[in-house]
Amino acid sequence: WAVERINARGGVQLPAAAGGARPLELVVMDSKGNPDEALAQLRQAEDEGIRYVAQGNSSAVALQLVDALDRHNARDPAHALLFLNYSAVEPSLTNEHCSRWHFRFDAHADMRMAALMQVLAADTAVKKAYLIAQDYSFGQQVLREARRQLAALRPDVQVVGDELHPVGRVKDFAPYAAKIVASGAQAVITGNWGNDLTLLIKAARSAGYEGKFYTFYANALGAPAAIGEAGVGKVLAVAEWHPNMGGAASDAFYEAFRARYPKPEQDYLHMRMQVMMEMLAQAIEKAGSTDARAVGRALEGASYRSPLHTLTMRAADHQAIQPLVVSVMERRGTPGVRFDNEGSGFGFKTVRVIDQASQMDTPEHCVMSPWP
């Protein structure tokens, strides 16, 4: 939709000498969430002359792409590619594994955790917390950071469970749910996504768990409908925006999207992806060229501001700095919940907004090579 909107206003405006106004073209390639398949698709993109690669599902894939692009661009800087990351949130991608060619438009896992912790820390009913995540780099980082931030913000909270499970292979979460209930936890903190999240929440509710879930992705495509009544008032999520943020600009934006994509399974809208494409178009126009090196320089330190959102691409590590919002699942029609997700009857209500300024000094330890 972002590409469509940019093209509807005439595309990217380049000087006549650089070809004049040009539309953006979206080429879809399926990596199947597999790093090896992603590398094969990257080679295909290189061969087809594609200069901008967007990816987000799986930090493991993203880490492989960063390494491959570093090597390719060092060999052939005249045909370099930029990596636009919209969802791979493993913090090392903008820290020890940062790259001149990689730009992350999502808040990384530690930033998302900090937003959730602001809400959890204020909940004095929480005395015990259970940590559970998928067993790969992202899930492992979520548990490490949850422990660290709990110790800093709520040292009185006892961690009564710290568990990793295989990604996408657990069909019955009842044993995990039984452990959660037996632990006496009032809060579960998880980075799970997809079926690993929805099955966990439903199993916990069936087992009698009455506490809250602090999640990264309970508002993702498919999750609200699958979680259903089990999530009302209990399941929290964090994102840069959600449909019930309120205000005329936000409401009109979401209504226009749903008019264009009315099917429930199409209700997949993330502000960061819209902003990513807008900032790419702006950077190409500022550079006056589609050359990845010039566009990358233009993206460094760039800012996007509109009635909908603000985002700054921090030059030091290519990490997006933007507001974050923690929301809780409620029934549509509840005050603050005008819109539901996927026609499910359930939407999200704002609990707390973490402003952009408070995140500007998020620690980073990135050392990047100079532009060629």
Specify the length of the chain in residues: 372
Q: Say whether 6 sits in a helix, a strand or coil.
A: helix
Beta bridge partners, 54, equal 84
pLDDT score recorded for residue 243: 97
Q: Is pLDDT at 137 greater than 90 in this prediction? A: no
pLDDT score recorded for residue 364: 85
Say which DSSP state 22 is in: B
CA 148 to chain centre: 21
CA 346 to each of CA 139, 171, 174, 327, 364: distance values in angstroms, whole numbers, following the listed order: 27, 24, 24, 12, 37
Domains of the chain by range and CATH? 2-107+264-322 (3.40.50.2300)
Residue 282: its H or E element:
helix 271-287
Q: What is the mean pLDDT of residues 17-37?
A: 92
Binned at pLDDT 50, 70 and 90, residue 360 comes out as: confident
Closest by Cα among 64, 111, 53, 105 to 299? 105
Q: What is the mean pLDDT of residues 14-41?
A: 93
Q: Is pLDDT at 362 greater than 90 in this prediction? A: no
Model pLDDT for residues 207-254, shown as the tens digit of each residue: 999 999 999 999 988 899 999 999 999 999 999 999 999 999 999 999
Strand order in the sheet with 187-190: 158-165, 128-134, 187-190, 212-215, 235-239, 324-331, 346-354
Using alpha carbons only, give the angle 288, 294, 300 rounded to the nearest 5 degrees: 110
Binned at pLDDT 50, 70 and 90, residue 32 comes out as: confident
Instruction: Quote the radius of gyration of the chain (alpha carbons, Å).
Output: 21
Binned at pLDDT 50, 70 and 90, residue 357 comes out as: confident
Chain-wide mean pLDDT for the chain?
Answer: 95
Model pLDDT for residues 42-86, shown as the tens digit of each residue: 999 999 999 999 999 888 899 999 999 999 999 999 999 999 999
Q: Say whether 37 sits in a helix, a strand or coil.
A: helix
pTM of the model: 0.94
Q: Tell me which amino acid residue 218 is.
A: A
pLDDT score recorded for residue 155: 97
Token readout for 252 is: 């009109």
pLDDT score recorded for residue 332: 97
The DSSP line for 88-135 is ---GGGGTTT--TTEEE-S--HHHHHHHHHHHHHT-TT--EEEEEEES
- The answer to whether the CB of 325 falls within 8 A of the CB of 239 is yes
pLDDT score recorded for residue 154: 97
pLDDT score recorded for residue 186: 98
Q: Is pLDDT at 361 greater than 80 in this prediction? A: no
- The answer to whether the CB of 44 falls within 8 A of the CB of 14 is no
Q: How big, in percent rounded to 5, are the helix, strand and coil portions of the chain? A: 40, 20, 40
Question: How many angstroms separate the CA atoms of 41 and 273, rounded?
Answer: 21
pLDDT score recorded for residue 55: 96
Q: What is the mean pLDDT of residues 103-132?
A: 97
Question: How many angstroms separate the CA atoms of 268 and 194, rounded?
Answer: 14
Q: Is pLDDT at 309 greater than 90 in this prediction? A: yes
pLDDT score recorded for residue 19: 87
Percent of the chain having pLDDT more than 90? 91
Model pLDDT for residues 241-296, shown as the tens digit of each residue: 999 999 999 999 999 999 999 999 999 999 999 999 999 999 999 999 999 999 99
Question: How many angstroms separate the CA atoms of 224 and 349, rounded?
Answer: 13
Binned at pLDDT 50, 70 and 90, residue 15 comes out as: very high
- The answer to whether the CB of 94 falls within 8 A of the CB of 364 is yes
If phi > 0 it is left, if psi is from -120 to 50 it is alpha, else beta; for residue 312 that is beta
Question: How many angstroms separate the CA atoms of 372 and 370, rounded?
Answer: 6
